[in-house]
Amino acid sequence: MSRTTLIHAGWILPMADEPLVLRDHVLVLKDAHIEAIVTAEQAQTIVADETLHLPQHVLMPGLVNLHGHSAMTLLRGLADDLALMDWLNNHIWPAEGKHVSDAFVHDGSVLAMAEMLLGGTTTINDMYFYHGAVARAGLKAGMRTFVGCSILEFPTNYAQNSAQYIEKSLAEAQEFTGEELVQFVWAPHAPYTVSDDTFRTVVDLADKHDWLIHCHIHETAFEVESSVSEHGKRPLARLDGLGVLNPRLIAAHMVHTNVEEVALAAERGISVAHNPASNMKLASGCAPIQAMLDAGVNVGLGTDGAASNNKLDMFADMRLGALIAKGFSQNPTDVKAYDVLKMATINGAKALHLGDKIGSLEAGKQADMIAVDLSAIATQPVFDPISHLVYAADRNQVSHVWVNGEAVVQNRVLTRLDQAEILANAEAWQRKIVAA
């Protein structure tokens, strides 16, 4: 039976092309979709099953985390203050070799999704192993989940070689055919861990199965220098020659890019997942985000994994993304508050080829949205809710979260997930990891 809910909000932020804030408007939610946004006066004539009054709240699209490794929440704080290759080779990969399993990935992903939903993130573009476990976690949490199927040339607990990673990914994807909230994505790890032949295969398979491609690219100066030494060209040029640079590609990081590479990214229509907190913590550098935006590159925002961030907090990454861009360029007008809000919402949706379904509040779109309470002392007075969302608010002010029209967080409480169970599982994994 169809159900209509009226949500009266102090401010509605539709995320139009230009900044627009609607005061004293009402969103009409019908089942999984947004039916309309009307004035409070117009809403008086609408018959509803439920009416929700949020007079001190901003109602806005749910946040899209464009790059993450959800299961790595179980490794949060295990290895800090290290450079990327030291962190990977000497700490993270050895720990994963001891512990990563279907159960590890499921429990770690549920923990991550609980954290993300409570912080207003409604979509995660993930990259890890045991893909069925990630998908099951997403369905359990009620979160829109893009399951990134990691591909490497070397063995892990999950597979022995690139052919086996691909074979297992296709097999696991079959189980979730038709699930509205789950999509599978090819995730060749990085240019330094994937061969030319494998990249060519991934491009062909992406076309065949209509999957996106998600890859770490130009994350560190070392990666770029190694590529020049080994292949005689920088990673982006190598990948372009292999056909990887196309509108299906989501390039995570893209820190060490020059003017020509920014222009190439725009020309090829790729999307970039900017990860400011992880980039800063691993000392990878500052991506030239304003230059990308100026060139017309679609830039979204990601947290990366909790082992390198160490929190899955899109509000923190929005603030940091705006601030470091200004500090990097010494231009306070770079990456404005609304720019970074677009990166966290509609740009992320476009990168996932869902710009016609989510990422903005418009009639006919699926209702992935959040309410942010600005009544706190730290967000008073409210001259400009756009400014507050980026520079003053934090994730703890998210009060309500809807995914596909379902309220998965109500008054800061998860409706689908058992918090006590999640915490007990996290503690149990901590004991196992410490014991090992």
Kindly list the domain boundaries of the chain, sorted by start residue. Answer: 4-61+360-404, 63-351
Q: Tell whether residue 214 is among the known ligand binding residues.
A: no
The mean-pLDDT minimum among 82-96, 193-207, 381-395 falls in 82-96
Strand partners, 146: 125, 183
- Which tens digit of pLDDT belongs to each residue from 70-91? 999 999 998 898 888 898 889 8
4-61+360-404 CATH: 2.30.40.10
- Indicate the SS3 state at residue 280: helix
- Which tens digit of pLDDT belongs to each residue from 181-193? 999 999 999 999 9
Question: Phi and psi dihedrals of 151, rounded to 5?
Answer: -135, 130
Q: Tell whether residue 219 is among the known ligand binding residues.
A: yes
Q: Tell whether residue 189 is among the known ligand binding residues.
A: yes
Q: Tell whether residue 81 is among the known ligand binding residues.
A: no
The model's pTM is 0.97
Distance CA 122, CA 145 (A): 9
Q: Tell whether residue 96 is among the known ligand binding residues.
A: yes
pLDDT band, residue 354 (cuts 50/70/90): very high
- Which distant-in-sequence residues (6+ apart) come within 8 Å of 87 by Cβ? 79, 282, 308
Domains 4-61+360-404 and 63-351 share a fold: no
Distance CA 187, CA 184 (A): 9
- Conformation bin of residue 77: beta by default, left when phi > 0, alpha when psi is -120 to 50: left
Helix (H) or strand (E) holding 238: helix 235-241
Question: Phi and psi dihedrals of 216, rounded to 5?
Answer: -70, 130
Whether pLDDT at 402 is above 90: yes
CA atoms within 13 A on the CB side of 31: 3
CB atoms within 10 A of CB 133: 24
- Which tens digit of pLDDT belongs to each residue from 293-340? 999 999 999 999 999 999 999 999 999 999 999 999 999 999 999 999
63-351 CATH: 3.20.20.140
- Which tens digit of pLDDT belongs to each residue from 146-170? 999 999 999 999 999 999 999 999 9
- Which tens digit of pLDDT belongs to each residue from 30-54? 999 999 999 999 999 999 999 999 9
Omega prior to 310 cis, within 30 of 0: yes
Q: Residue 87: its pLDDT value, please? A: 83
